[in-house]
Structure 1
């Protein structure tokens, strides 16, 4: 069992605070990488394991979920609060703290979903982006765009 499964064995479905990571992975055509899980498109990512840095967890999760190996990552921001509360179908509850990164440093790999959590992986042009985003991802994209504007860059 992993860290979260061990915690759940002790506390049951009671709310936990869990720290996770995600990344905006941007390819050379300026497209964004998204994963489809349970019919919903979202940013790839997951939770940090014991002894792992946030950066290591981000690279691991992107590779596991998408088959893409990334290099250098830059912090976008940290997203947390009551509006991110999650209750899973099995009754587990948690408040995530999500550390979001951005990278254009795609080192290798082929788009390959893990077939456990992820059914599809795809790069999207901004004009063809999935319209329905979870609140966390919407706010991450908004923060990323605001940082581009404040730094005088266009996406």
Structure 2
């Protein structure tokens, strides 16, 4: 059982501040890796950090777990937080995420494959051909990723 599950045993559904990561993976064609989550919405790989883990380690771990791709260097794009990111899950859990966003074009190894647990599909998209079932916040992130990536 992970850190958040253990914490929830103590605090129940009370709002928490949780630290997470989001990683935009860009292939050699300039396409962005997106994953279709179990709720049918598309997003970039990411999740919450575990105790003792750096945001970079968490980002690499989440990309590998969710998509089967191992990535290398991560470039910081920005931090996202605030009341506009508030989440209330169907089970009643509430949280305010503080998300560290990264971009990478360093794909080391792996076969692109959805994990079947958090991800039902994983594939690359052109920035101008994103799926319609994409969270508006992720669309904004991809715009920022595009600017960040093009400034390399």
Q: Aligned in 2, Cα 1:105/1:147: closer, same or farther, shift over 3 Å?
A: closer
Aligned to 1:17: 17
Aligned to 1:83: 84
2:114 counterpart of 1:109: no
Contact 2:40 2:133 in 1 (8 A): no
SS at match of 2:20: strand
Per-residue Cα deviation, 1:77-120 (whole angstroms, up to 9, x for no partner): 00011000001111100000110000000000011111111111
In the alignment of these two chains, the number of paired residues is 151
Aligned to 1:26: 26
Q: Aligned in 2, Cα 1:148/1:53: closer, same or farther, shift over 3 Å?
A: closer
Q: TM-score, normalised by structure 1?
A: 0.91
User: What is the Cα-based RMSD across aligned positions, in Å?
Assistant: 1.5
Q: TM-score, normalised by structure 2?
A: 0.93
